[in-house]
Amino acid sequence: MTYDLKPGDVALMGIPLDGHSSFLQGPAFAPNRIREALHCGAANLTAEDGTDLGATDRFKDTGDLDVFEMRGQEPIDRIENEAAARIATGARLLSLGGDHSVAFPLIKAHADRHQGLNILHIDSHPDLYDTQDIGPFGHGCPFARVMESCQINRLVQVGIRTMNKHQREQADKFGVEVVDMRSWHADLQLSFDGPVYLSLDLDALDPAFAPGVSHHEPGGLSTREVIDLIHRFEGQLVGADIVELNPHRDPNGMTAMVAAKFVKEIGARLLMR
Ligand code: MN
Ligand code: MN
């Protein structure tokens, strides 16, 4: 291992994988675009609560996984093993996708370590398909795989606005709590008992705020509303991912900057003990 993690550290990990995307490629190039936005000099590294990620030695970048060419089960196993190795040190993991297929192995690694894990899933899509043309590890399937294979206390989805009949049946089968955009209120207060994993798909945001995603889905959350969700939920955040940035659709890098903002706000919350 080329990284040196200690308990309480926050480990950044890039996952350059987009071979499980059903529509467009591009998210494999996201991790470095987010790092560039984070360090571009246009903004400092201080989160809104005053936590300065640039001033602490507990915020560590562990680089990218070697999964770019992989498809199917192989990258799923690799991601789970690499995530498990990092969190076994007591560090908390903040992963940068990659398409949303990476969430299944990431959550599996966290569920194995944290009993009674809750998931806060922010997305325009429920990602509960049993399978897709690209197979059972497609980026529309990860939360079906999670609910089949992991011990999960609660899966709460926020931002949903594409629920079809099949996924409604899947949500009912798995007991998923869905806060869809039709019933969204900005003062939503979420409260979890025990550890929480946050999976943040950038297409939860309205395309006006985050155009650099593969699936534009109008009628979504604002950047401010997602930041407020990150700040306000009750529960202990133990790990997170930010997925589905597609740099090919993000010509002036504005969505990468939104992702970098979320790295700061999520990173600050992960650093809280
Ligand atoms: Mn998704
Ligand atoms: Mn999505």
Q: How close is the Cα of 55 to the center of ligand 1, in Å?
A: 32
Q: How close is the Cα of 60 to the center of ligand 2, in Å?
A: 27
Give the number of whichever ligand sits closest to the CA of residue 241: 1
Triad 82, 138, 94: Cα angle to 5°: 35
Q: How close is the Cα of 187 to the center of ligand 2, in Å?
A: 22
Q: Which of 140, 125, 151, 232 is nearest to 187 (CA)?
A: 232
Neighbours of ion ligand 1 (CB under 5 A): 100, 123, 125, 127, 201
Q: Which of 241, 251, 269 is nearest to 123 (CA)?
A: 241
d(CA 92, CA 62): 12
Q: For residue 2, is pLDDT > 70?
A: no
Q: How close is the Cα of 246 to the center of ligand 1, in Å?
A: 13
Q: How close is the Cα of 242 to the center of ligand 1, in Å?
A: 10
pTM: 0.98
Q: How close is the Cα of 140 to the center of ligand 2, in Å?
A: 8
Q: How close is the Cα of 6 to the center of ligand 1, in Å?
A: 31
Q: Domain-by-domain residue ranges, the chain? A: 10-271
Give the number of whichever ligand sits closest to the CA of residue 104: 1
Give the number of whichever ligand sits closest to the CA of residue 200: 1
Mean predicted confidence (pLDDT) in 205-226: 98
Measured in whole angstroms, the distance separating CA 264 from the mean position of its chain's CA atoms is: 14
User: Which CATH code of 3.40.640.10, 3.40.800.10, 2.60.40.10, 1.10.10.10 fits the domain covering 10-271?
Assistant: 3.40.800.10
Q: How close is the Cα of 2 to the center of ligand 1, in Å?
A: 30
The predicted-structure confidence for 148-189, as pLDDT tens digits, reads as follows 999 999 999 999 999 999 999 999 999 999 999 999 999 999
Percent of residues, the chain, with pLDDT higher than 70: 99
From the number of C-beta atoms within 10 Å of its C-beta (0-12, 13-18, 19+), residue 191 rates as exposed
d(CA 49, CA 31): 24
Q: Around Cβ 2, how many Cβ atoms within 10 Å? A: 5
The predicted-structure confidence for 222-263, as pLDDT tens digits, reads as follows 999 999 999 999 999 999 999 999 999 998 999 999 999 999
